[in-house]
Amino acid sequence: MANNVELNEIMITRAIIDRYMEKLHQNLEVDVAIVGAGPAGLVAGTYLSRAGYKVSIYERKLSVGGGMWGGGMLFNDIVVQEEAKRILEDFGVRGRHFTETYFTADSIEAVSMLAARAIQSGVTIFNCVSVEDVVMRPERVIGLVINWTAVEMAGLHVDPLAIRAKYVVDATGHDTEVVKVVHRKVPGRLMTPSGNIEGEKSMWSDRAEKLTLENTREVFPGLFVAGMAANATFGGPRMGPIFGGMLLSGEKVAIHIIERLKGEQ
């Protein structure tokens, strides 16, 4: 009988290796590769995947969720404004009115639900994988160069691997890491006013939240920015621990890319 079968360590090992290899093989060529599993990346991935596209997310850390876990200064609640409440609800996160127009949610519930919905919608998340470069052609970015975060942390000289994507999203937050590497190493100008990274500005919540949405767009052929990376790239201010802009930016980048992908069919 099945419950009398002695557990076999090699079978457990084989199961994990085979399943992970499956994920790797199935995500060598994707429609959209997202860098960063913070709130913007998780929302973007979910909406793209729900629209039927193949999406992988690469996250440097062991945990997904980026800067959302800690709420504000480790007080583990987030604030979301009226306009974004529908996205919280869509992901099954329970929001509570603080005033008529300010909502709060438990930050741990918010991260957990965003991550669960992303995976269940079909997104593959590779955690502990860092994106160190892009794959380029003369006219556009066509993929990502990835390596184990452990290799990066240990400073080992180990060559990376590559994946191909029709579109790449930089959702790396304040550090805007993919845009930085493109600016440094890929010939051509960024689609910013100066052609360079404009840089994040000091806090102004209202303006920052509005600009996050305006700044959610393509910054180099094949490369979009979302979330905090959008403001860091296009020169918007930071907003503090209000997360509506991050959720709406994830949704917006998904809508933009879906339009492009549909246009290519």
Helix (H, G, I), strand (E, B) or coil at 156: coil
Nearer to ligand 48H (CB atom), residue 31 or residue 45: 45
Q: For tokens 């090699």, what's the residue?
A: 10
Nearer to ligand 48H (CB atom), residue 18 or residue 231: 231
Nearer to ligand 48H (CB atom), residue 40 or residue 163: 40
- Minimum CB–partner distance for residue 89 and ligand 48H (Å): 19
Helix (H, G, I), strand (E, B) or coil at 198: coil
Helix (H, G, I), strand (E, B) or coil at 255: helix
How far is the C-alpha of 115 from the C-alpha of 122, rounded, in Å? Answer: 11
- Minimum CB–partner distance for residue 39 and ligand 48H (Å): 4
Structure tokens of 217? 């767009």
Nearer to ligand 48H (CB atom), residue 142 or residue 227: 227
How far is the C-alpha of 98 from the C-alpha of 96, rounded, in Å? Answer: 6
Nearer to ligand 48H (CB atom), residue 9 or residue 183: 183
Nearer to ligand 48H (CB atom), residue 35 or residue 55: 35
Q: Do 59 and 127 form a contact (C-beta atoms < 8 A)? A: yes
Helix (H) or strand (E) holding 111: helix 107-120
- Minimum CB–partner distance for residue 113 and ligand 48H (Å): 15
How far is the C-alpha of 85 from the C-alpha of 102, rounded, in Å? Answer: 9
- Minimum CB–partner distance for residue 9 and ligand 48H (Å): 32
Residue ranges binding ligand 48H (CB under 6 A)? 35-41, 58-61, 66-68, 130-131, 171-175, 177, 203, 227-229, 238-240, 243, 246
φ/ψ bin of 226: left (φ > 0), alpha (ψ from -120 to 50), beta (otherwise): beta
Please classify residue 184 by burial: count the beta carbons closer than 10 Å to its beta carbon, then call 0-12 exposed, 13-18 middle and 19+ buried: exposed
How far is the C-alpha of 194 from the C-alpha of 177, rounded, in Å? Answer: 18
Please count the other Cβ atoms lying within 10 Å of the Cβ belonging to residue 77: 16
- Minimum CB–partner distance for residue 162 and ligand 48H (Å): 14
Please measure the distance between the N-terminal and C-terminal CA atoms of the chain and give it in whole angstroms: 51
Nearer to ligand 48H (CB atom), residue 121 or residue 149: 149
- Minimum CB–partner distance for residue 186 and ligand 48H (Å): 16
- Minimum CB–partner distance for residue 243 and ligand 48H (Å): 6
